[in-house]
Structure 1
Amino acid sequence: MWRAALADHKKLMLLSGTVAFLAMFQMGYSASYPNTSFHAFKAFINNSYVERGRPLTEEEFNWLWALILNTDLIAFLIGSWLCPPMVEKFGRKTGLLGGNLIKLIAGSLMIISIKCHSTELLAAGRMISGLGDGLAASSLTLFLQETSPTNIRGLVSGFQELSISFATLIGVLFGLPYVFGSSLATLVGLSAVPNAALIFILMFCPDTPKYLYVEKKDKLGAIAAVTFYHGVDRDEAIDVISELDKEHEGEQHCRTTFREVFSSRHLRKAVLLGSAACIFQIVANIPITFYSTEFLRRAGVSAWGAEMASLGMMVLNCVATLLSMNFVDKCGRRHLLLGFGFLNIVALVMYSIFAELSSQMPWTKYGCITALFAFSFTYSVGLGPVPWYLTAELSPQMHRSFIQSIAISSSTVAGMTTGLLTLPLYGYMNATSFFPLFIVPSLLCLIYLYRQLPETKNKEIYEIVRELRGGSSDSDSCLGVNML
């Protein structure tokens, strides 16, 4: 799949991969470097309170650290809702530019927070960063979906998860005490480089063909954009643009509202399916990305062993995401999401069992490491990549950003809840806390998706929407696959 895509769409693949990596770097990086630099941040926060004459207890630190880590999720929620009005009025490209400019400001503020020994400024910087991430991530999903041909739409959209995987790996690596983990100002400031680079690159790129044609009614601009991204001649670009009429045929352009979404069967189903997939994706992954090193230490693994295991998880994450991108357009979204989602839940159950036994049976700490590796692999093959673009594939063009924001909001609330509760609850219940926090919600999402989720592989958006309406897309299966 990779070889064929690179041969036919080399420019699109290289540009999409670069844009995705730079746009998502800070999101993955800032989620993972606190994992291996946990004790450096713990010392920084405790020292800042000692200087005020009020040392923190262990329980107070657990709650404060959980709150600081999750302030970005609160703002991510807001940023995802900035996306619809911005990208519909100003374009997907502008959404990406705005999100990365906000993140550039946030990185500067976090550097100042370390220099000033201010826990509050650190939390504020992470919150502003989350605002930019929410806007940039939502805009990127639309950007990748709307610049790629249907036959490689899953492959190109997979760059979003692949970019997070590589950024997470870099974050875990850089957070090690013997890399940048002991120099927190350098550690938090490095994310500004990709943000600035993306702003520069986007200045030379047009907006997506779909946005230009459907929203701006700029047919000439849309044809030029297809030529730019697909590397085809003008006649082929005109054929691609002509397919866009089928997607929004019969639709009236108007501002999308909650009432409209939840009163329309196909829009409501797109919201519920997209939300279930996104919640399934995030509910366990964010806490494990934050705390895997600490979990393993509490299961009896040495500090160095826990750090290396976390680093190994991220390497496996990248490899598995690459494998997933290679066959997502062959195997289908449904099979990857449901099959590997189920195995992901099994890995969580096994970790809980091994961790609970670790105090009486020390050898089970190796079972904990194996279970987390299995979690990382199964997550990255199906559960990580697919939800990023599934909601967009289920939604009509004019409602896409709005429905996507609802789905992202649902998952953000779920991730924020588990992220805030995991470390404090782990202190009370140990690994059995995984059952109410991760396993039960994941099972509920899996059951719903198994019953309701259609396959979207190699289908045009209008075919998928027709299926959600209750019709069949079989009669349309002979239609071309060149639509964006």
Structure 2
Amino acid sequence: MGYSNAYPNTSIDQFKAYLNHSYTHRGGGYMSENTYSWLWSAILNVWFIGFALGSFVAIPVTDSLGRKKGLLFGNALTLISVAIMTISIIFDVFELLIVGRFISAFASGIAMCALILFLQEISPNEIRGSMGFYAELAFVVMNAVGAILGMSMFLGNHLSMLVGFAVIPSVISILALIPLHETPKFLLIKHGNEGGAKESLQFYMNLNDEEVNEQLDAISDEAEESSGTIKTLLTTPHLRKGLLLGMFALQITCSIWPIIYYSTDFLRKANIDYDLAESFSSGMLIVSTVATVIGIFATGPVAWFITSELVPISYRALAQSIALGVNQLTALVLTFIVFPLYNIIDSWSLLILYIIPGILALIYLWFNLPETKNRDIADVIEDIKNGKTSQPIKNKYEMAKISSNNTADGISDS
């Protein structure tokens, strides 16, 4: 996901030369600056359309095939898309580049949704947030790799190799996924496979028989609500609020896209030398990677996975897909207009499009988002129903204390 979006930034001049050559090769004459701007915008922004569609298709894929097979399917599609894009470079057919990026984005939408659900459902409560970190880490690391390899000193002058490099992480992902088990929650709730769920719990959490049975009971309790539909999700107040909280959290991430796509151009408009602009763009994405690694010791990349912690499992794939899809459509609109608007009102465009909406989203989250750390999702959903913003449970001893207090309260009430 990150790699294919970062290398066009630092290799922008080479792509411009490729598009000109492809355009003139078929007798179209020299490409005008206006034609180039619209074509380059289409190549970049078709990503958001594909990702949004992939996010919605991820709902039936992950709920029918499973989280693991959803990831395998997404990575297999990525291999096909990379082959199409590489062919487009070799044979100077820029239309295939657009098609390839669309398929790549579609595959990434499926894979990202499946990955978030996969990591959430194989993790015990106390490390669920930390596991979500790896989805974001993969994104920012590949951003940095793409930006660096797109520089002229590396693969920037060899576009077919630059585009084809994306095969490597996809193949590694497929090979790593093959020996893994499906998630225990999917096996038990979606397929009623208790034996498979037990094996999955032992594989991922190394639990004894008693602990496995406790986990199975907790999963069964979580699955008590009816199967989720989009109508119920949007009309039930606490479900709709969970979805809105996830969408507002993801809104804050939109500000990264102008940096990924346009930072080299922004710097050149500020009269920065091209080679230096390349280096700065790569440096910013390296800093983003370091910040993400440091973030695991604080909040982590909460925005990417918080939606799946705010709704029951029967609505999880649906809510996660809608939140990611809306996020990508929002990013499409903002990224499409930010560059022309920047030419008119300079950096004020960033204030209007990103900073003010981000602040408004943070204010809404501050007053409405319940704590999810070290808590069962059923308890988080109950807080949303009651309009509470609770404090995190710090450790297992505090959890035991709360459990004993609840038991005592139940005895006294009776």
Both structures adopt the same fold (TM-score exceeding 0.5): yes
- What is the deviation of 1:459? 1.3
Whether 1:317 and 2:257 are equivalent positions in the alignment is no
Whether 1:404 and 2:320 are equivalent positions in the alignment is yes
> Secondary structure of the residue that 1:117 maps to in structure 2?
coil
Match of 1:193 in 2: 168
Distance 1:173 1:303, change over 3 A: same
Match of 1:40 in 2: 14
- What is the deviation of 1:326? 2.0
Say which of 202, 212, 215 aligns to 1:227. Answer: 202
Q: Distance in 1 between matches of 2:400 and 2:174?
A: 35
The code of the aligned residue for 2:354 comes to F
Between 240-249 and 317-326, report the one with greater CA deviation: 240-249
CA contact (8 A) 1:265 1:468 kept: no
Match of 2:251 in 1: 279
Whether 1:306 and 2:259 are equivalent positions in the alignment is no
Q: Distance in 2 between matches of 1:159 and 1:210?
A: 20
CA contact (8 A) 2:373 2:392 kept: no
Distance 1:475 1:292, change over 3 A: closer
CA contact (8 A) 1:68 1:123 kept: yes
> Secondary structure of the residue that 1:326 maps to in structure 2?
coil
Between 85-94 and 440-449, report the one with greater CA deviation: 440-449
Q: Distance in 2 between matches of 1:414 and 1:204?
A: 37
TM normalised by structure 2 equals 0.91
Say which of 60, 73, 78 aligns to 1:98. Answer: 73
Instruction: Please list the CA deviations of residues 437-459 of structure 1 after superposition, one character each: whole Å capped at 9, or x if unmatched.
Output: 22232232222222222221111
> Secondary structure of the residue that 1:178 maps to in structure 2?
coil
Q: What are the within-5 Å matches in structure 2 for residues 339-354 of structure 1?
A: none
Match of 1:141 in 2: 116
Instruction: Please list the CA deviations of residues 29-58 of structure 1 after superposition, one character each: whole Å capped at 9, or x if unmatched.
Output: 011111110110011112222223232222
Match of 1:267 in 2: 239
Match of 1:58 in 2: 33
Instruction: Please list the CA deviations of residues 72-99 of structure 1 after superposition, one character each: whole Å capped at 9, or x if unmatched.
Output: 2101111111111111112101110111
TM normalised by structure 1 equals 0.78
The code of the aligned residue for 2:102 comes to M
Whether 1:215 and 2:131 are equivalent positions in the alignment is no
- What is the deviation of 1:431? 2.3
- What is the deviation of 1:174? 0.3
Match of 2:56 in 1: 81
Whether 1:117 and 2:84 are equivalent positions in the alignment is no
Instruction: Please list the CA deviations of residues 79-121 of structure 1 after superposition, one character each: whole Å capped at 9, or x if unmatched.
Output: 1111111111121011101111111100000000001111111
Match of 1:468 in 2: 384
CA contact (8 A) 1:464 1:473 kept: no
Distance 1:475 1:435, change over 3 A: closer
Match of 2:311 in 1: 395
Whether 1:158 and 2:130 are equivalent positions in the alignment is no
Match of 1:28 in 2: 2
Q: Distance in 1 between matches of 2:53 and 2:388?
A: 37
Q: What are the within-5 Å matches in structure 2 for residues 231-242 of structure 1?
A: 231-242=206-217
Q: Distance in 2 between matches of 1:100 and 1:286?
A: 22
Whether 1:203 and 2:178 are equivalent positions in the alignment is yes
The code of the aligned residue for 1:302 comes to D
CA contact (8 A) 1:391 1:404 kept: yes
- What is the deviation of 1:406? 1.3
Match of 2:263 in 1: 292
Q: Distance in 1 between matches of 2:16 and 2:390?
A: 58
Distance 1:480 1:162, change over 3 A: farther
Between 303-312 and 461-470, report the one with greater CA deviation: 303-312
- What is the deviation of 1:480? 6.4
Q: Distance in 2 between matches of 1:475 and 1:279?
A: 24
CA contact (8 A) 1:113 1:119 kept: yes
- What is the deviation of 1:472? 6.2
Between 233-242 and 309-318, report the one with greater CA deviation: 233-242
CA contact (8 A) 1:466 1:473 kept: no
Distance 1:480 1:133, change over 3 A: farther
CA contact (8 A) 1:59 1:424 kept: no
Between 139-148 and 436-445, report the one with greater CA deviation: 436-445
Q: Distance in 2 between matches of 1:458 and 1:227?
A: 20
CA contact (8 A) 2:372 2:380 kept: yes
Whether 1:440 and 2:411 are equivalent positions in the alignment is no
- What is the deviation of 1:266? 1.0
Say which of 354, 363, 369 aligns to 1:453. Answer: 369
Between 177-186 and 236-245, report the one with greater CA deviation: 236-245
Q: Distance in 1 between matches of 2:118 and 2:305?
A: 11
The code of the aligned residue for 1:416 comes to L
Percent identical pairs in the alignment equals 37
Q: Distance in 2 between matches of 1:36 and 1:472?
A: 46
Instruction: Please list the CA deviations of residues 327-363 of structure 1 after superposition, one character each: whole Å capped at 9, or x if unmatched.
Output: 33xxxxxxxxxxxxxxxxxxxxxxxxxxxxxxxxxxx
CA contact (8 A) 2:263 2:281 kept: yes
Unmatched 5+ stretches in structure 1: 1-26, 329-381
- What is the deviation of 1:471? 6.7
Q: Distance in 1 between matches of 2:184 and 2:349?
A: 47
- What is the deviation of 1:315? 1.7
Q: Distance in 2 between matches of 1:457 and 1:404?
A: 19
> Secondary structure of the residue that 1:181 maps to in structure 2?
coil
> Secondary structure of the residue that 2:192 maps to in structure 1?
coil
CA contact (8 A) 1:67 1:420 kept: no
Residue-pair matches, total: 396
Unmatched 5+ stretches in structure 2: 402-414
CA contact (8 A) 1:62 1:423 kept: no
